[in-house]
Amino acid sequence: MRIFSGIQPTGRKHLGNYIGAIRGYLDGQERGDPAIYCIVDLHATSVTYDAKGLPGYVLDTTAMLMAAGLHPERCILFRQSDVKEHTELCWLLCSVTPYGDLQRMHQFKEKSERERELVRTSLFLYPVLQAADILAYRTDEVPVGDDQRQHIELAREIARRFNATYGEVLVEPEHVIPEVGARIMDLQDPTTKMSTTGGTEQGLVYVDDEPDAIRKKVGRAQTDSGSGVIRAPDKAGISNLIEILAVVRGVEPEAIESEFEGSGYGDFKAAVGDAVAGYLAPVRERYAELRADEEALESTLSAGAERAREIAAGTLADVRAAMGVGPAV
């Protein structure tokens, strides 16, 4: 069972990243043979970004993943740009990717509207590079958040189209989306996903936030004017907090609703804040230790890239041969 997923080095990681994606990485590490995790710095260049800060953001993300429980000896952890096979495979896969499919990608529409000065071609091709990331490893499963469902389906379609055109070379991956916590929402705008892009500081709970900061943010979370700790279409804020607490405690949302039946929002928010602060504290403390040793982090990424390249190079060689690219063998 090969498992692959990528994560953006967009600075500090938040609770939505942790619950929606990183939890799945830890599960995959136990089941994967191998489990492969990529910090996708090339994807980060598809929108306005801090070029000087990007190398540091990669190390931030590396340290955070390791602090959460990823062990380089039990998985493959590497930086996307260190494995050149990703970019070449992206170009080759463009030959079987319909232009119209890329036009219909929700994230391109959403992100392009925010890019006021320049909408990059790389943003348009982002899903093809993501497909290359996945297909380079003949991946069976991709643990992702709910917002990536459309992208994984495109990767499957690209694999099907390639195999139908050139022969059976690529593997169609399956997405694995958590049943609870797949889409954690912004605390101040619970109709939108928690995100460092477009969100507010008060709407984000960062994994490395101090416990008191977490409690304060949760305590100020936007909720409805009614009462009752229950999930409902008109209770987006409370529904979001119920899902968060369910994940943190490892129970079903119904158990949270039963426990807090008759409770006020204040008591419920206090319980959520305490639980989240306790949940993230060990990760925050371990992160601070790991992030201080940049040489060790770079060594981890370099070793992971070597292992990843061994797999990706074989896939790329098969793709090139099937497409007739390069010298005849």
**Cβ distance 43 to 129 under 8 Å?**
yes
> Which has the higher per-residue pLDDT, 146 or 52?
52
Match domain 3-176+294-323 to its CATH number in 3.20.20.70, 3.40.50.2300, 3.40.50.620, 3.30.420.240: 3.40.50.620
Least-confidence region, from 63-72, 102-111, 261-270, 306-315: 102-111
Least-confidence region, from 24-28, 41-45, 205-209: 24-28
pLDDT score of 225 more than 90: no
Across residues 247-260, what is the average pLDDT? 93
Mean pLDDT of the chain: 92
pLDDT score of 329 more than 70: no
DSSP 133-169: HHHTTT-SEEE--GGGHHHHHHHHHHHHHHHHHH-S-
Least-confidence region, from 45-59, 166-180, 298-312: 166-180
| Amino acid 283: pLDDT | 93
pLDDT score of 97 more than 70: yes
pLDDT score of 284 more than 80: yes
147-205, pLDDT tens digit by residue?
Answer: 788 899 999 999 999 999 999 999 999 988 777 667 889 999 998 888 877 677 889 99
Please report, for the chain, the start and end positions of each structural domain, with discontinuous segments joined by +.
Answer: 3-176+294-323, 201-288
| Amino acid 198: pLDDT | 67
Per-residue confidence band for 242, with pLDDT thresholds at 50, 70 and 90: very high
Q: What is the dihedral of CA 288, 294, 295, 301, to 10 degrees?
A: 100
12-34, pLDDT tens digit by residue?
Answer: 789 988 888 888 899 889 999 99
Q: What is the Cα–Cα distance from 234 to 223, expressed in whole angstroms?
A: 10
- Assign domain 201-288 to its CATH superfamily: Tyrosyl-Transfer RNA Synthetase (1.10.240.10)
Say which amino acid occupies 277: A
Across residues 90-101, what is the average pLDDT? 96
Eight-state DSSP code of residue 33: T
| Amino acid 84: pLDDT | 97
pLDDT score of 117 more than 80: no
- Scanning the structure block, which residue is given the tokens 């980060």? 44
pLDDT score of 253 more than 70: yes
| Amino acid 195: pLDDT | 83
Q: What is the Cα–Cα distance from 90 to 94, expressed in whole angstroms?
A: 6
95 in helix, strand or coil?
A: helix
Token pair listed for 176: 């694995």
Across residues 286-291, what is the average pLDDT? 94
